[in-house]
A and B are shown apart, each in its own frame.
Chain A
Amino acid sequence: MTAAVEVRDVCRAFHTRSGMMASEHVVRAVDGVSFNLQPGAVLGVVGESGCGKSTLARLILGLLPASSGDLLVDGRRLASLDRRERAQLIQPVFQNPYSSLNPRQRVRDMVGLLLAAQNDIPVSKRLDRVMEMLVRVGLSAEMAERFPKQLSGGQRQRVAIARALVLRPRIVVCDELTSALDVSVQAQSLNLLAELWRELGLTYVFISHNLAVVEHIATEVAVMYLSRFVEQAPVDALFWDPRHPDTQALLASVLTPEPDQGVPDGGLGDTYPDPADIPPGCRFHPRCPVVFDRCRTDAPDGIVRDGRLTECLRS
């Protein structure tokens, strides 16, 4: 079976200069990420902010070219697809439905724009498909004539989802879908996504920093630290048996409702990672609570134990 998304050793570097005469910094936002995602799977990507999750999403969507490495979507090289073909295969749902919807367009025009951009769909069929999709995501027909300001947060997110799905893509990339939303709207969007996933057989790449959300929706979880996947495993394995110290620290930081426990110490210290200055050896070693000598010199890249990627020399 062809993988829905195949990523082979992808890197993306940004070159920044702090002043005109200053020397150039290279920020390696994604640094050698590889994974295979089977059709129908949901890959949750978690990690601290600034670890490169969103850059990875933009690479998979083809919104940013990779510096090196291969990206295959549905068995075809992403770089070889033109925009129309790409739009039919893979679509994004963005973070904030308050800013990602054009305030001056009606819902039907916004959703229909994707169909209009595909030259082969006749005008007469466009509105039918828009309406069908709006009903599919639980919006009534009269919503089609409305402007975004006339919609509630939950309805806007539904419009954003309808827009992503109207071309019937195989793969949907959700980047921090829930973090800008009110809790009740978060739940609505997630339930809708889960329902559409089951019914339409979609594949999701689901990026979030909320572990509870990822656990709910994902079938597979990757933990990203400083531009790399440091652990990747099926969802139950990862949450029940976290092996990488970063995963363990993330899970230890989740506050369970135990009044007598106090706020836990994640054990990662006060230093923060800087993607412009990736440490030698294991990139996690400056913060690692179980660091030993070899960590400072040997990079644990691509270590697989029991069929799980665990980039840790102790694993």
Chain B
Amino acid sequence: MWPVLEVANLQVTFGDSVAAVRGASLTVNRGETHCLVGESGCGKSVTALAVMNLPARGTERRADVPRFHDTDLRRLSERGMARLRGNKVAMVFQEPMTSLNPAYTIGSQMAEVLQRHRRASRVQALDRAAELLGRVGITAPDIRLKQYPHQLSGGLRQRVMIAMALMCEPELLIADEPTTALDVTVQTQILRLLQTLQRELGLALLLITYDLGIVARMAQHVSVMYAGEVVESAPVEELFAAPTHPYTRGLLACIPVPGGLAARCTARQHSRRGAAHRAQLRRLCVPRPLRTRDAGVRRTNRLPLCRRGQGEGFGAARCTLLVLSPTTRETGPPLSLPIAARLAMC
């Protein structure tokens, strides 16, 4: 075990009203994939941005030990952070449509990374860019390098983003839903590429996703986030075999698998976990990013009636979320879950 990234008790607040992340802790080891799962709005992406020191305006960030190797990220100047970003730590953002600069060609945007951090010549940088575009499955990379982002489809842009993140062979890659916009066939190809890089370079990967299929196949360690808190954190086999937290159990009960495959799937007990779980899930409300002033009453606020209990620390589930008693009528909208998960419930 060789921790590349360590974050403890990360708190992110927007202004003084919304607490987006409330005490999240995670460790990513060398050569390991750590998956952060949870529904949208639970603070996954904000966690990643806070680690990269890229918070939006009016954001306050506190953490006990945000550490990359031995560097304390709190002590790092903006310049020092800029030297790290794109070089040792790279990030693949969620929206490929908005994260490329429309005024520059793909080639110059990709080459810039290597020119800046490695003092490579433009020719060398473009060669490396072409090589990486080939590896992420883009045909005719030399033509693509001369094109502008608007000339590429969403899937291609996302692959360009991934290739760009890999330009400097980073030690830590933070990927925020890297394959959500892609076809299943391209998705498997990119996930395999990431795994190859992990074997070759010992890349540490923090993968943010809501797709438990990806989690199962990629992760060594999984953290489940809910309403700004990491509610369960466990090695992947453990999490899938014996989920502790009711929310995790609910997620697993509703895994989207096409029926023909589900029947052949050896872990199908999860997807068949049954009507009881689905009924429980339907009674839960959508958690909103909590207002800080509600902190004292947040649990009762979020879940109108719950028997509360709290596990201790890591490995155990922090059970701030318990199932409603069956007699309670749900008033809020149903819990948002991955699409087919919701479908399974209905």
Confirm or deny: B79 has a beta carbon within 8 angstroms of a beta carbon on chain A: no
Main secondary structure of the interface of A (DSSP, over half): loop
Q: A11 → chain B, closest Cβ, in Å?
A: 22
**Cβ contacts B219-242/A at 8 Å (1 or 0 each):** 100000000000000001100100
Flag if B40 contacts A212 (CB, 8 Å): no
Instruction: Scan residues 248-289 of chain B and give those whose CB is less than 8 A from a CB of chain A.
Output: 252, 255-263, 265-267, 270-271, 286
Flag if B340 contacts A212 (CB, 8 Å): yes
Rounded to whole angstroms, the CA-CA distance of A262 and B214 in the bound complex is 9
Q: What bracket does the count of chain A residues touching chain B fall in?
A: 35 or more
Confirm or deny: A274 has a beta carbon within 8 angstroms of a beta carbon on chain B: yes
Flag if A256 contacts B257 (CB, 8 Å): yes
Flag if B39 contacts A265 (CB, 8 Å): no
Stretch of B2-10, B13-21, B183-191 at the chain-chain interface: B183-191
Query: Which residue among B188, B215, B265, B336 has the maximum number of chain A CB atoms within 10 Å of its CB?
Result: B188
Cross-interface CB contact of A260 among B184, B195, B211, B237, cutoff 8 Å: B237
Flag if B257 contacts A212 (CB, 8 Å): yes
Rounded to whole angstroms, the CA-CA distance of A147 and B138 in the bound complex is 40
Given contacts A48-B186, A184-B40, A265-B188, contact A213 B260 (CB under 8 A): no
Rounded to whole angstroms, the CA-CA distance of A265 and B217 in the bound complex is 12
Cross-interface CB contact of A263 among B181, B191, B342, cutoff 8 Å: B191
Number of A-B contacts (CB under 8 A): 151
Confirm or deny: B329 has a beta carbon within 8 angstroms of a beta carbon on chain A: no
Confirm or deny: A251 has a beta carbon within 8 angstroms of a beta carbon on chain B: yes
Q: B310 → chain A, closest Cβ, in Å?
A: 27
Given contacts A186-B339, A263-B192, contact A253 B216 (CB under 8 A): no
Flag if B185 contacts A264 (CB, 8 Å): no
Confirm or deny: B93 has a beta carbon within 8 angstroms of a beta carbon on chain A: no
Confirm or deny: A211 has a beta carbon within 8 angstroms of a beta carbon on chain B: yes
Cross-interface CB contact of B256 among A212, A249, A265, cutoff 8 Å: A212
Q: A113 → chain B, closest Cβ, in Å?
A: 28
**Cβ contacts A141-179/B at 8 Å (1 or 0 each):** 000000000000000000000000000000000000011
Rounded to whole angstroms, the CA-CA distance of A48 and B258 in the bound complex is 17
Flag if A254 contacts B153 (CB, 8 Å): no
Flag if B188 contacts A264 (CB, 8 Å): yes
Cross-interface CB contact of A240 among B182, B215, B259, cutoff 8 Å: B259
Q: A155 → chain B, closest Cβ, in Å?
A: 12
Rounded to whole angstroms, the CA-CA distance of A182 and B340 in the bound complex is 13
Return the chain B residue nearest A253 by Cβ: B184
Flag if A256 contacts B213 (CB, 8 Å): yes
Given contacts A49-B155, A239-B258, A257-B255, contact A183 B184 (CB under 8 A): no
**A residues near B216, Cβ cutoff 8 Å:** 255-259, 261
Confirm or deny: A120 has a beta carbon within 8 angstroms of a beta carbon on chain B: no
Residues of A bordering B, CB below 8 Å? 48-50, 178-179, 182-184, 186-187, 190-191, 209-213, 215-216, 236, 239-242, 249-251, 253-266, 268, 270-272, 274
With contacts A49-B153, A212-B256, A266-B184 known, what are 10 further pairs, Cβ within 8 A? Answer: A49-B154, A182-B40, A187-B337, A212-B339, A212-B343, A236-B259, A250-B185, A257-B240, A257-B265, A262-B217
- The list of the 7 closest CB pairs from A to B, nearest first, reads A184-B336, A255-B213, A187-B342, A239-B260, A253-B184, A212-B340, A240-B260
